[in-house]
Amino acid sequence: MKTILIVDDSSSARLFIQRCFEVSGFNGSQFLEAENGQKAIEVLGGKPVDLLVTDLTMPEVDGLGLLQWAKKNKPQLPVLVITSSGNEARKAELMSAGAKSVLIKPISPAVIQETMKSL
């Protein structure tokens, strides 16, 4: 993955997710950030991105809205949802909306490594 866009309204969460990717062998990737779905759409409109990693609950455009936008406008872009509001029901909903994978916070480098193998 050359360029990974991390979308989360928490700067601490974005940093933690980036660290997990770096420790999992993605330290050569370029990391872009956005604090909500609307900002992410603006980034995606201007730069090529290889993986979209998004939170679910965010102000303005939330993660589900961003996922739906991405499926319509960037259908080849894999989307990984990382949320604290996750259980089996939510996972099923997000997967049927087009997410490649759904992870529950807190994540770890091991979980990222395992997930990225399957993407």
Partner 1 sequence: MAYFESDRCSVTAQLHDMVIESVVEAFEPMGFLEVLPAEAFVPYDERMNRVRVEIMVETPFQGEMRLIIPKEVGMEITTNLYSYDRGQVTENMLNDMLREILNVIAGRLVARIVPPEIPFTIGLPEVGKKSFDDKNTPSSTFHFHLEQNPFWVVLLGEGFFSASK
17 versus 41: smaller Cβ distance to partner 1: 17
Least distance to partner 1 from the beta carbon of 10, Å?
Answer: 4
73 versus 84: smaller Cβ distance to partner 1: 84
Q: Which of residues 60-119 bind partner 1 (CB under 8 A)?
A: 83-90, 93, 104-108
**Residue 22 near residue 53, CB atoms below 8 Å:** no
CA separation, residue 39 to residues 16, 20, 23, 32, 105 (Å): 19, 23, 26, 11, 22
10: contact with partner 1 by CB under 8 A = yes
41 versus 64: smaller Cβ distance to partner 1: 64
How far is it, in rounded angstroms, from Cα 90 to Cα 70?
Answer: 18
Contact residues toward partner 1 (CB under 8 A) are 9-13, 15-16, 57-59, 83-90, 93, 104-108
